[in-house]
Chain A
Amino acid sequence: LPRPTVIAIVDDDHSVREALTSLMRSLGYVAIAFERAEDLLKSRRRRSVSCVIADVQMPGMTGLELHDRLVASREPIPTILITAFADETARERAMQAGVIGCLTKPFSEDDLLACILLACRRERTNSLQKSGATPSGYEGVPYALLG
């Protein structure tokens, strides 16, 4: 079996963080949750993360700033933003900055999963291209769906 896919969840709201962690684990992903964006950047498990789900409005570093920091680092991680403010201009700015998706809370499981699959595919394709292998097309598909 391949290594399980690790998803990082960054949200200052306790309920949303717990709910997302449970949903990710129920799908067979390994979920690690952070209350602040800075904690993820400092974390030693950062290198194992395939995809980040981050809230936009957080005290301290925002989700978009986190994405920018990840892009600027040597090992960018595909990022999905979630927000409780339905602001179209902010959404467009985030998409232009290259995030995988920007979902308005409350979002549907299908939309979130589509974004995660896209993120994992992009992440795995990037790392496989480095090692010269060809992608299988099933990257990031949770075990619950494969089985």
Chain B
Amino acid sequence: MKTAAAAPEEHRFILSSLPPGPAQRRLALVVALILLVTFLITAGGPFSKVQLPQIGAFIPAYGTAMLVNDLITAVLLFAQFSMLRSYALLAISIGYLSTALVAIPWMLTFPGVFAPAGLLGANPQSTAWLYILWHTGFPVCVIAYALLKEADPARREWRGSVQAAILSSAAVTAGVVAAETFLVTASEPVLPPLMLDDKIRLSPAWFYAAGAVALLILLALVVLWRRRRSVLDLWLTLVLCAQLVEVNLISFPLATRYSVGWYTGRVCGLLSGSLVLFVLLYETTFLYGQLLRALLAQRREREARLMTGDALSASIAHEVRQPLAAMITNADAGLRWLNRASPDLEEAKAAFRRIATDGHRAGAVIENIRAFFRKDAGSRTSLDINEPVREVLALKRADLLAHRVSVEAELNDQLPPVKADHLQLQQVLLNLITNAIESMAAKDGERMLCIRSRVHDSSAVMVSVEDTGTGIETADIDQIFNPLFTTKSDGMGMGLSICRSIIEAHDGRFWATPNMSQGFAFNFVLPADNRIPSAPLSRQKRVAPANTYEY
């Protein structure tokens, strides 16, 4: 039951619109705890007031690492923007680009690294002010990102040329960084001093500046947290946490350069710079694998002749339209031959003969479709209902993984066998599971597919497929078995009516109920096969474990 608000198919595989899975959340929590512990140990531990030596290579190494990290992150985010065209992504890309670019003057102006007083005509205050501007720009961009991604959908997307948007925003960002550099190097008197004369200790004004930055980061954190949805949001939250720790460690308990806190703060800064990059790279590789698997599974599904309702209806339409087109065209041709100044009877007769042939062909197509659903005892065998359940779950595994749906299968191993067409039962289950995945892909939050099999009324077997998806409006419940009803924008809605036809052809019952908490449950009951009194027969058949079934 996909709703109109669902994300387009291709967006499901893009990091900035994908909800984080449970493993991602756990990892993020671990990183947050490590940050907290690092902060507590560094700020409150016995080494907190130790002053370390000035390591000459530290600043250029750190600055270059930040520059490269943030630049790659910015490029990857710009690439996502070019796919999704969302203003929000453009804002966060600009954030990363600006932190990458500002690392250059920060490094060059650092006193005692490239020149005793720093390059670019720096004064003793330049580097500290660049640091403040650096850590102001990023949270501002995060706030813009958080607000823009919740904006009115019609205004969320850039409509113009992607290339122009990226080039102009890169140019503006570079311009702003250049202006900032000029401001802090050329106009010392305008800005209050952040460093004391020894170029090591920070002045009282630093605490106001750093405090303002910390508050801004905190604000960005709150704004983003209230709007968190995607994997990207989750890790950006952690980036802000790392920056908060960094700003605090540089200021407390020793407000000097080269203290333990100062070095640790830099390490936190590097971590914050790398987090999103690592996640982007990991997710890209992971999703690539997913797509590959999904592609292979799709091919297998096709080869297995299993079709969902939509695919089936499209294929039926195709098969019927071919002879219809031929018939109509032949009729037109026949009329044309007869309407000539000297009617060509032979050609006209040939056209009418072809119409008759095509009519028979269309009839045969319809007959085939009917045979597909007809009660046909010949193709029915006594089988364990859990077998097709496991097979279809295996078939859809890649799709379930790609949509981060967790599966809970409560399959009763002591079920009596049912007499059924194996392929048709697979068809039913495939339709139900595909529907459930599509319904859950249309919303955020927990995605759980629950499949149960159990004994029903002592002489029947019941299977239920529950999802936590969008569910169905109560008014629509009576409508869902109507072959032409669909909440999907791109489907014909034949899936459920096909399922019901198949189950009823097996003397079973098929019905739907709203799920307890959210989503929907589809249930069907099939009578147990009484002609085989002992269940072990079906067990013996199952030599290979069902979960290793592959097509």
- Contact (Cβ within 8 A) A27 B336: yes
* A3→B329 CA distance, assembly (Å): 25
Secondary structure at chain B's binding surface: helix, strand, loop or mixed? helix
Does A146 sit within 8 A of B, measured CB to CB? no
- Contact (Cβ within 8 A) A22 B330: yes
Does B361 sit within 8 A of A, measured CB to CB? yes
Q: Chain A residues with Cβ under 8 A from B322's Cβ?
A: 13, 15-16, 84, 105
- Contact (Cβ within 8 A) A86 B317: yes
Given contacts A16-B325, A82-B325, A106-B328, contact A22 B351 (CB under 8 A): yes
Given contacts A22-B351, A26-B337, A27-B336, contact A13 B326 (CB under 8 A): yes
Partner pick for A147 among B325, B326, B333, B341, CB 8 A cutoff: B341
Does A20 sit within 8 A of B, measured CB to CB? yes
- Of the listed residues A15, A57, A144, the one surrounded by the most CB atoms of chain B closer than 10 A to its CB is A15
Does A18 sit within 8 A of B, measured CB to CB? yes
Size range of the chain B interface in the assembly: 20 to 34
- Contact (Cβ within 8 A) A84 B333: no
Q: Chain B residues with Cβ under 8 A from A13's Cβ?
A: 322, 326
How many Å from the CB of B315 to the closest CB on chain A? 9
- Of the listed residues A22, A86, A108, A144, the one surrounded by the most CB atoms of chain B closer than 10 A to its CB is A22
Partner pick for A84 among B317, B327, B354, CB 8 A cutoff: B317
Which residues of B324-347 have CB atoms within 8 Å of chain A's CB atoms?
324-330, 332-333, 336-337, 340-341, 344, 347
How many Å from the CB of A127 to the closest CB on chain B? 27
Does B300 sit within 8 A of A, measured CB to CB? no
Partner pick for B326 among A15, A25, A86, A104, CB 8 A cutoff: A15
Task: Give the nearest-CB partner of B328 in chain A.
Answer: A106
A to B contact number (C-beta, < 8 Å): 79
Partner pick for A23 among B314, B318, B329, CB 8 A cutoff: B329
Binary contact track B286-327/A, C-beta < 8 Å → 1, others 0 = 000000000000000000000000000010011001111111
Q: Chain A residues with Cβ under 8 A from B326's Cβ?
A: 13, 15-16, 18-19
Given contacts A26-B347, A84-B317, contact A19 B329 (CB under 8 A): yes
Partner pick for B336 among A23, A57, A106, CB 8 A cutoff: A23
- Contact (Cβ within 8 A) B323 A15: yes
Which residues of A71-90 have CB atoms within 8 Å of chain B's CB atoms?
82, 84-86
Partner pick for B361 among A15, A26, A144, CB 8 A cutoff: A15
How many Å from the CB of B100 to the closest CB on chain A? 38
* A27→B332 CA distance, assembly (Å): 10
* A20→B332 CA distance, assembly (Å): 10
How many Å from the CB of A17 to the closest CB on chain B? 9
- Contact (Cβ within 8 A) B336 A105: no
* A42→B173 CA distance, assembly (Å): 55
Does B358 sit within 8 A of A, measured CB to CB? yes
Task: Give the nearest-CB partner of A147 in chain B.
Answer: B341
How many Å from the CB of B365 to the closest CB on chain A? 12
Q: Chain B residues with Cβ under 8 A from A15's Cβ?
A: 322-323, 326, 354, 357-358, 361
* A39→B240 CA distance, assembly (Å): 63
User: With contacts A16-B326, A19-B325, A105-B322 known, what are 6 further pairs, Cβ within 8 A?
Assistant: A16-B325, A22-B329, A26-B336, A84-B321, A85-B314, A106-B327
4 closest cross-chain pairs (CB), A and B: A105-B325, A26-B336, A15-B326, A19-B329
Residues on B close to A: CB < 8 A?
314, 317-318, 321-330, 332-333, 336-337, 340-341, 344, 347, 350-351, 354, 357-358, 361
Residues on A close to B: CB < 8 A?
13, 15-16, 18-20, 22-23, 25-27, 57, 82, 84-86, 104-109, 144, 147
- Would you give 26 A-B contacts (Cβ < 8 Å), ordered by A? A13-B322, A15-B323, A15-B357, A15-B358, A16-B326, A19-B325, A19-B326, A19-B330, A20-B329, A22-B329, A22-B330, A22-B347, A22-B351, A23-B332, A23-B336, A25-B347, A26-B347, A84-B317, A85-B314, A104-B321, A105-B325, A106-B329, A107-B325, A108-B328, A144-B336, A147-B341
